[in-house]
Amino acid sequence: MERNENNKIEPPRLARRFLSWYCRPELLEDLEGDLNEYFERNVSTKGVAKARLIYILDVFKFLRSYIVRKPDFLNLFIQRNMIGSYVKISGRSILRNKLFSFINIAGLAVSMSVALLLISLLSDMTSYDKFHKNYERIYRIKTQSEQDKFASTSLLAGKLIKEAISGIEEIAIVYREFGGDMRVGDKIVPLFGMWANESFLKVFSFPMISGDPATALANPNSIVLTEKSAKKLFGDGDALGKTITWPDKDNEREFVVTGIIKDIPTFSHVKFDLLASLSTREVMKKTDQYEMAWDNIWNGYVYLLLPEGTDLENLQYNLSTLSAKENKTIKEATINLSLQPLSDIALGEDLNNSIGTVMVSSNVWMIGILSIIVILSACFNYTNLSIARSLRRSREVGIRKIVGALRSHVIGQFVVEAIIIALAAMCFSFVLFVLLKPFFLALNNQHKDMLVLDLSPGIILYFLLFAVCVGIAAGIVPAMYFASVNAIKVLKNISAVRGFGNMTVRQVLIIIQFTVSLTFIASTIIGYKHYKQILASDLGFDTENVLNIALAGNNSARLKKELLEMPEVIDVSTSQIVTSVGNYYGTMMHYADPKDSENTHFNTIDERYLPLHGHKLLAGRNFIAQADSAAESEVIVNEKVLKRFNIRGQDPLKAIGEIVDVDGKKLQIIGVMKDYHYGKSIDTEMNEVIFRYSPSSTGYINAKIVSKDLPTTLSKIETAWKKIDPVHTFSATFYDDEIERSYNDFSSRIKIIGYLSFLAICIAFIGLLGMVIFTTETRTKEISIRKVLGASIGNLIYLLSKNFIFLLGISMLIAIPLTYSFFAEYALSYYAESAPPALAELTGGLLAILGLTLTMICAQTIKVANSNPAEVLKNE
């Protein structure tokens, strides 16, 4: 049969590859030949399409037991001695190419350090609450109101579930915020905990040292202490059965210790010093209508212990029915209950009113994805450099293949090599991990409270497993590349394998790498600028040099007097809360129409507060000092209040003297102040705010301080505090620091992304450096000849670096619009007062990085371009 060589019709490629994949190597050749012969015959008799179809069918028909090969991986493990050889060869190759190994190990090490942190973080977070015997069966009730999601729910919900829904083993009901200065005899110890019903200790397995878990919290006036609090109150003596006095707002109450439990483990999402029986609260609040209201969803928590094999959907249906029924009893609100497994609490969705600190899983995933990107970037380096060096290694592979190595052996060799590099990198990154750990823990309160990051054999195993995975990820592409090397071609003619054959793939990798790193850097720049902008933004009042001292329930007068005696303290005022850092106090207020009332933010202050903080009055006057006993009669409002209630045509001057109703009291407006940020400055626009008067509030003392030696002044104030209150620790923060701390989340995120982008750019940088070095090294001969023929150094630099500059240019063109649009459209759009990211600064920052990279490229090319051509050519 005659056939034109150039126009040969080939059998379908995929089918052929499939055949050679499954067929035993010793049977493959003649079988393939047979199929080819039939194919050629069919092409001439039945046409190409049909011949192809028959070929494909035949390939499947030959899929028989005696033809199919045994799996290769099995071979890999059977031939253990080969692994020894892989390790040996890999070791030699790593040592021979020190630069290559250094670049890879360094890149992988820095990127893996982040991953190690993340692994130990995840391990910490997933071990939360695992110590409970019934971990798998505990669910929390969460609440969805029309505005938001809450971890808390109403006490009524707990009660109703108990009454109306069957098939629940136990229901633990908790009400937070119990505690204060607990007293035993003369001893006062501030302790904080929760109210809990009798099922609490049955649902959760906090081990009891003494007392009966079933009944400890059943009766009113019972209290359960942790071991530590018992020691604080009673020393080493037996605490069981003793009484503790709790100072309630109006009267004192005696509690009997009915149980002592072991200290709460770190990995528990609820933390407390003591538990009071919820039945006490029921007695106390018997007449309070709101206590058992369906929409009082702010402080209660309900945990269900479900029997094994509960139908969750059915239970959810019952909860929804119950919610629908109860929603009819309240106005203007819909509240829906749903289930949340215990495993989703510590690391889970972003809920309001969470009990204790939690970590939002989306944040963790974000960091996870970013660090995976950084690790991939380091893997790209490995891939890129390995393929760039293929010139050198492919001969070795050729020999291996001729000696009898299978595809799988070659792949094994290169993957093992990558794994060894990854393991070496892992050792370095472990050192980095240990160094980074304290910084990471100190990054924000969440980390400090929730994480330990201790090492355990399990974690180390995860680390090693991770390193192996990274090794495989980095090594698989070069391994595939080398496995497909044609042995004969390589050995016959080395130039057949152009070292830079696969240029497009690697160009794409470099572009991706730089685009990612530039995007990271740009995001950090924008984020940091935005952060600084927020901190510097005008709140509408003056916070400079104001020290806020928490009073912890003490009377302010004594400390005030002590403070005013110090020369460094210019002025002192008191306030109920510190505003503009995310604290809110609200109260109902209305003007002429009682039906048109609004929940208005307020702060209770004394007469020195306004001048000390530089609030501007548009009309009227400040409060005048009054006696403690005087009834509240005056209020200062802001412009927004005038607007909201339309008081006297919103004219500040006319509004003075009007009467408003605040919290059921008739108060006279004596002043109108300019609007200011009561909430955080980024959150929302400014809202209605009122100032109420109290000469002696128990919240904070605001001291304006001018001092050259702050530490001494602070210690002086602390000494004064100790004299007045030996029990509570002195807690004072400068207003500016407090504002900064309220953006802790924001700043810690910027720090993490900043660190990651630093890593990303370093990795991309050294990766590119490696590429440049290898490119120039392989082209030294060419360069020498060019020089001999008269090329100038400028020409040579241009020749060598134009490719890289082109790639960098492309990645910059992708990165800038990408980041810009991301921030302009999405990330910053919901902040009220943010300017769009400045394109000039963005480009400036990126240009600096590109400049650095270009300098590196030029330095390397100049080195090669300056080499003496005679030397280079003589050596050949």
Which residues of this protein are in contact with another protein, per CB under 8 A? 1, 11, 29-34, 36-38, 40, 58, 61-62, 64, 66
Cβ nearer to another protein, comparing 18 with 135 = 18
How many CB atoms neighbour CB 481 within 10 A? 22
Shortest separation between residue 403's beta carbon and another protein, angstroms: 20
Strand blocks (E) in 265-380: 274-277, 300-305, 335-341, 347-348, 359-360
Shortest separation between residue 58's beta carbon and another protein, angstroms: 7
Closest CA to 385 of 100, 121, 604, 26: 100
Shortest separation between residue 489's beta carbon and another protein, angstroms: 15
Shortest separation between residue 3's beta carbon and another protein, angstroms: 9
Cβ nearer to another protein, comparing 30 with 332 = 30
Q: Cα angle vertex 830, ends 825, 832, to 5°?
A: 120
Q: Please tell me what DSSP assigns to residue 3.
A: -
Cβ nearer to another protein, comparing 27 with 824 = 27
Cβ nearer to another protein, comparing 42 with 524 = 42
Cβ nearer to another protein, comparing 58 with 606 = 58
Shortest separation between residue 486's beta carbon and another protein, angstroms: 14
Shortest separation between residue 56's beta carbon and another protein, angstroms: 14
Shortest separation between residue 494's beta carbon and another protein, angstroms: 24
Whole-angstrom distance, CA of residue 668 vs CA of residue 656: 8
List Cα–Cα distances, 628 to 6, 164, 556, in angstroms: 107, 50, 12
Rounded to 5 degrees, φ, ψ at 494 are: -60, -30
What are the structure tokens assigned to 112, written together?
Answer: 């893996």
The dihedral built from the CA positions of residue 711, 713, 719 and 721, taken in this order, carries a sign that is: negative
Rounded to 5 degrees, φ, ψ at 516 are: -60, -50
Q: Pairing mode, if any, of strands 300-305 and 138-145? A: antiparallel
Cβ nearer to another protein, comparing 11 with 475 = 11
Cβ nearer to another protein, comparing 37 with 825 = 37
The partner residues of 243 in beta bridges, in order of sequence, read 256
Cβ nearer to another protein, comparing 38 with 192 = 38
Cβ nearer to another protein, comparing 35 with 761 = 35
Cβ nearer to another protein, comparing 63 with 452 = 63
Cβ nearer to another protein, comparing 488 with 847 = 488
Cβ nearer to another protein, comparing 32 with 169 = 32
Shortest separation between residue 778's beta carbon and another protein, angstroms: 34
Cβ nearer to another protein, comparing 37 with 736 = 37
Shortest separation between residue 41's beta carbon and another protein, angstroms: 9
Shortest separation between residue 69's beta carbon and another protein, angstroms: 14
The partner residues of 690 in beta bridges, in order of sequence, read 602, 637
**Would you list the DSSP string of 680-742?**
-TTTSS---EEEEE-TT-SSEEEEEE--S-HHHHHHHHHHHHHHH-SSSPP-EEEHHHHHHHH
Q: Cα angle vertex 715, ends 710, 718, to 5°?
A: 125
Cβ nearer to another protein, comparing 39 with 591 = 39
Return the exposure string of 275-313: e unless at least 16 CB atoms fall within 10 Å of the residue's CB, then b. bbbbbbbbeeeeeeeebeebbbbebbbbbbbbeeebeee
Cβ nearer to another protein, comparing 487 with 525 = 487
Residue 618's H or E segment, with its range, is strand 617-620
Q: Please tell me what DSSP assigns to residue 149.
A: E
Whole-angstrom distance, CA of residue 517 vs CA of residue 513: 6
Shortest separation between residue 11's beta carbon and another protein, angstroms: 8
Largest CA distance in the chain: 118
Shortest separation between residue 64's beta carbon and another protein, angstroms: 7
Shortest separation between residue 39's beta carbon and another protein, angstroms: 9
Cβ nearer to another protein, comparing 9 with 832 = 9
The dihedral built from the CA positions of residue 478, 484, 488 and 493, taken in this order, carries a sign that is: negative
Whole-angstrom distance, CA of residue 140 vs CA of residue 168: 13
Shortest separation between residue 30's beta carbon and another protein, angstroms: 4
Question: What residue type is assigned to position 243 of the chain?
Answer: T
Question: What residue type is assigned to position 633 of the chain?
Answer: S
Whole-angstrom distance, CA of residue 98 vs CA of residue 658: 83
Shortest separation between residue 36's beta carbon and another protein, angstroms: 4
**Would you list the DSSP string of 105-170?**
HHHHHHHHHHHHHHHHHHHHHHTTTTTSTTGGGEEEEEEEESS-EES-B-HHHHHHHHHH--S-SE
Cβ nearer to another protein, comparing 50 with 498 = 50
Whole-angstrom distance, CA of residue 145 vs CA of residue 335: 5
Shortest separation between residue 29's beta carbon and another protein, angstroms: 5
Residue 259's H or E segment, with its range, is strand 252-261
Q: Please tell me what DSSP assigns to residue 825.
A: I
List Cα–Cα distances, 664 to 268, 589, 633, 691, 695, in angstroms: 42, 8, 12, 16, 20
The partner residues of 276 in beta bridges, in order of sequence, read 195, 223
Closest CA to 355 of 140, 603, 54: 140
Q: Contact at 8 Å (CB) between 693 and 623?
A: yes
Cβ nearer to another protein, comparing 5 with 332 = 5
Which residues does 186 contact at the CB level (< 8 Å), separation at least 6? Answer: none
Q: How far is CA 473 from the centre of its chain?
A: 25
Shortest separation between residue 497's beta carbon and another protein, angstroms: 22
The partner residues of 348 in beta bridges, in order of sequence, read 360
Whole-angstrom distance, CA of residue 25 vs CA of residue 39: 21
Whole-angstrom distance, CA of residue 808 vs CA of residue 338: 51
